[in-house]
């Protein structure tokens, strides 16, 4: 299955979202953009929920959400039962979230990382495999329902 990324941001993450969308498209990766579509002030849940829903229902392999701190979008995405959203501020965090937690949505804090770091962390996230093994049992205990 070809990698498809659902992407969304609020106004604080808009410029990074646009740049990441172009970056992944140039690499032949399909990107579904769920907004926002300008840097006008907006509410992050309006974009985090559709990204999470599209990862949850399998129409996208991964999600990337960007806001100022990444906290709001991570909290929102993690309300979805099949979503494991992580906040990454280092490449190693993005890798471990995939390897150990089988994270499927990457949340990036645009006010605290550079665009180059956002690209690096995103590349690491989508190219890292879940290790399974001892981590599988732990991940299976995450959902409440």
Q: Measured at the alpha carbon of residue 17, what is the angle toward residues 131 and 22, in degrees to the nearest 5? A: 90
Cβ-contact 45, 53 below 8 angstroms:
no
Q: Which residues are catalytic?
A: 67, 100
Using DSSP's 3-state secondary structure scheme, residue 138 falls into: helix
Instruction: State the burial class of residue 35 (Cβ atoms within 10 Å of its Cβ: 0-12, 13-18, 19+).
Output: middle
Nearest in space to 31 (alpha carbons), one of 53, 10, 2, 57? 2
């Amino acid at each position: 299955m070809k990698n498809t990324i659902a992407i969304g941001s609020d106004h604080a993450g808009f410029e990074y979202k646009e740049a990441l969308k172009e970056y992944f498209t140039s690499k032949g990766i399909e990107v579904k953009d769920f907004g926002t579509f300008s840097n006008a002030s907006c509410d992050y849940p309006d974009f985090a929920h559709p990204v999470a829903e599209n990862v949850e229902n399998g129409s996208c392999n991964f999600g990337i959400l960007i806001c100022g701190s990444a906290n709001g979008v991570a909290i929102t995405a993690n309300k979805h039962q099949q979503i494991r959203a992580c906040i990454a501020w280092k490449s190693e965090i993005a890798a471990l979230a995939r390897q150990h937690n089988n994270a499927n949505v990457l949340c990036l804090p645009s006010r605290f990382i550079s665009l180059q770091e956002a690209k690096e962390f995103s590349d690491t996230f989508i190219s890292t495999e879940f290790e399974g093994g001892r981590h599988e049992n732990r991940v299976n205990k995450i959902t409440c329902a």
